[in-house]
Structure 1
Amino acid sequence: MKIFSKSADIMHAKWQHLASEGSARVNVFEHISLMALDSLQKCIFSFDSDCQAACRLVHDFTDAVIQQRRRTLISQGSHDFLKAKAKAKTLDFIDVLLLAKDKDGKELSDEDIRAEADTFMFEGHDTTASGLSWILYNLARHPEYQERCRQEVQELLKDHEPKEMEWDDLTKLPFLTMCIKESLRLYPPVFGILRYCAQEILLPDGRVVPKGNFCAISIFEIHRNPSVWLDPEVYNPFRFDPKIPQKRSPLAFIPFSAGPRNCIGQTFAMTEMQVVLALTLLRFRILPDDAEPEPRRKPELILRAEGGLWLRLEPLSAGPQ
């Protein structure tokens, strides 16, 4: 939580500087992607690359970090080093993987750890950036929802000094969370997935998907299915009101996929989106950029906007304290 807040502070300080004369026109996708990368490097490696300040991506150091950390373990004796970090609650993701053992007591190899770290790294920053950028876009287009979110955050943090989010605060932002989910419905960062059929699948109309086939599943289309969602093209956060019983299938909304191969980082991603969105709305008013045409969706590995996602930012305060 503290890392998310600090990374957001750095991004917001840049925005304050850009908007020092009133408002700023910003490609939020680019800025948020760097912010999310900054957070991941700190959470995975305890590494501060200054990637937001220097605006340079640092992706190719995973092996060196793992080997250096393992040498530290050896020099300091077995796992005493990691156990001390665990007790002090300063473990990062690499530490957790170095401590991990299978049921036979076998440790992960450097190759295993690199694969896990790379998965978290590359799946975990641009996807979150996509999600947050489209959320800001939707709230810019719906100022009434944006203001309600802001009031919710202001009420929650009015007695917090400094203005940081705590873990227990996450459950106290129900409307903000509803707005995040509705944006993830309309603009899922991962818009499609593949699944291998390990057995025959009988469809409702009687047809059979043969065993051994790969199936392409469109999360984007599932989220806009008119037989499930009323007015599916409309941004309506109240679809996710926890006080209203939902009759739809739990598989009607799958922004993080579903089943045994769902997203390993979904709690991490949702937490980061809640923290960064809350602090952003506390400090800025988000407005559409009238100089730009309506953004065209650009489906690559993740859902981007063609030419970037440009919004205007108006500071509401002096920024991060």
Structure 2
Amino acid sequence: MVPELSRQAEQLSAKLADLADGATLDVFPYVAAAVLETLLARSVAIVEEKFCKPWLWACGWLYRRTALYRDEARTLAELNAFSQEVIAQRACRRQEAAAGDSRDKQVVLDYLLAATESGGRLSETELQDEVNTLLSAGYETTATTICFALLLLGMYPRVQDNLVAELDAVFGDDPQRTPTAADLRRLHYLDAVIKETLRLFPPAPIIHREVETSELKIGGCTLPVGASVLVLSYSAHRHPDHFDSPQHFCPERFAEPRARPRHPYAYVPFGAGPRICVGRAYGLLLAKAAVAAVLRRLRVESRLSWQDLRG
């Protein structure tokens, strides 16, 4: 997937270069997929509003009488229409490839489509739900991570200088060369920058789990089977028991083995266990490709300080 990711990253950096005139720019609309931006942003807002009003999702008949429910129904219909188009286009490509000699590279959607064929394991509804999840989960999380990484690099010139030096070392022989998978693997400091960005600003700051098989005792409390548990990854990532100087942006903590978190679950930007994010490797790769492309072409600056973010 690296050639396609690199192509998209280069398009992003070229667009930002066209807009770079010394003024402050909100990069999120350009990093995010424009066709999905409004639709998924509204979907996230609806979920957040429901989350903060438990009487709505605990009382279905009441929720179905609200304007928020009607808004959710409209938004879901639009999202379903979009995902159906994506599925139909890929199914058509698969049929054309099967009828001819050409063969596309396999993507995630191919495996999902194969699971629906000939009475497979997934129904059509389940296939659409999977595609909706991939679209919504992958859209904002990766875009937000890229934006926070660029913001932090603009706030910390020393870190940006170190990263540019690494990029020069890898691409110095040909600054215009398209990155390969081997190139991205060599960018160890960039990997540390992305991981430190995810520590401070995890795209999923709250992770939901459910007590499934037996009651759970935590800190003198007993949680019964069926209880919901909210894991605050944002707080764990900033806890002094797990990280030295947790309120500082310091990519070196992930570049040096001795400075890494002391507990295996102290750092969970993608969750952990059987339900860990299936797109974590893809998301990291896309974030690295995007940040590398921008920093090879531009220098970023921010008028904000770390104190502004904490405020």
* TM-score > 0.5 by shorter chain: yes
Letter of the structure 2 residue corresponding to residue 23 of structure 1 = G
How far the C-alpha of 1:9 sits from its partner, in A, is 2.2
DSSP-derived class of the 1:6 partner: helix
The alpha-carbon distance between structure 1 residues 33 and 234, as it changes in their structure 2 partners (threshold 3 A), is same
**Contact 1:36–1:128 (CA<8 Å) still a contact in 2?**
no
Q: Residue 6 of structure 1 aligns with which residue?
A: 7
Q: Residue 201 of structure 1 aligns with which residue?
A: 216
DSSP-derived class of the 2:252 partner: helix
Q: Residue 299 of structure 2 aligns with which residue?
A: 285
DSSP-derived class of the 2:229 partner: strand
Alignment of 1:80 with 2:98, yes or no, is: yes
Question: What pairs with 1:114-263 in structure 2 (closer than 5 Å)?
Answer: 114-160=128-174, 162-198=176-212, 199-203=214-218, 205-244=219-258, 246=260, 248-263=262-277
Structure 1 or 2: more strand by fraction? 1
Counterpart CA distance in 2 for 1:225 and 1:96 is: 40
**Contact 1:7–1:35 (CA<8 Å) still a contact in 2?**
no
2:85 maps to which of 54, 64, 73: 64
Q: Residue 19 of structure 2 aligns with which residue?
A: 18
Q: Residue 29 of structure 1 aligns with which residue?
A: 28
The alpha-carbon distance between structure 1 residues 61 and 109, as it changes in their structure 2 partners (threshold 3 A), is same
Counterpart CA distance in 1 for 2:194 and 2:92 is: 42
Identity %: 28
1:96 maps to which of 98, 111, 133: 111
2:126 maps to which of 112, 116, 123: 112
The alpha-carbon distance between structure 1 residues 36 and 126, as it changes in their structure 2 partners (threshold 3 A), is farther
DSSP-derived class of the 1:194 partner: strand
- Once the two structures are overlaid, the 10-residue window that deviates more, 243-252 or 130-139, is 243-252
Structure 1 or 2: more helix by fraction? 2
Q: Which runs of 5+ in 1 are unaligned?
A: 39-57, 298-321
The alpha-carbon distance between structure 1 residues 68 and 26, as it changes in their structure 2 partners (threshold 3 A), is closer
How far does the alpha carbon of each residue in 1:116-156 deviate from its partner, in whole angstroms, 9 at most, with x for none?
Answer: 11111111011111111111111111111111111111211
**Contact 2:144–2:203 (CA<8 Å) still a contact in 1?**
yes
The alpha-carbon distance between structure 1 residues 17 and 187, as it changes in their structure 2 partners (threshold 3 A), is same
- TM-score, normalisation: structure 2: 0.76
Letter of the structure 2 residue corresponding to residue 33 of structure 1 = A
How far the C-alpha of 1:247 sits from its partner, in A, is 6.1
Size of the alignment, in residue pairs? 267
The alpha-carbon distance between structure 1 residues 172 and 69, as it changes in their structure 2 partners (threshold 3 A), is closer
Counterpart CA distance in 2 for 1:119 and 1:173 is: 30
Letter of the structure 2 residue corresponding to residue 28 of structure 1 = V
DSSP-derived class of the 1:252 partner: coil
How far the C-alpha of 1:68 sits from its partner, in A, is 5.1
Letter of the structure 2 residue corresponding to residue 163 of structure 1 = R
Counterpart CA distance in 2 for 1:153 and 1:190 is: 29
The alpha-carbon distance between structure 1 residues 212 and 283, as it changes in their structure 2 partners (threshold 3 A), is same
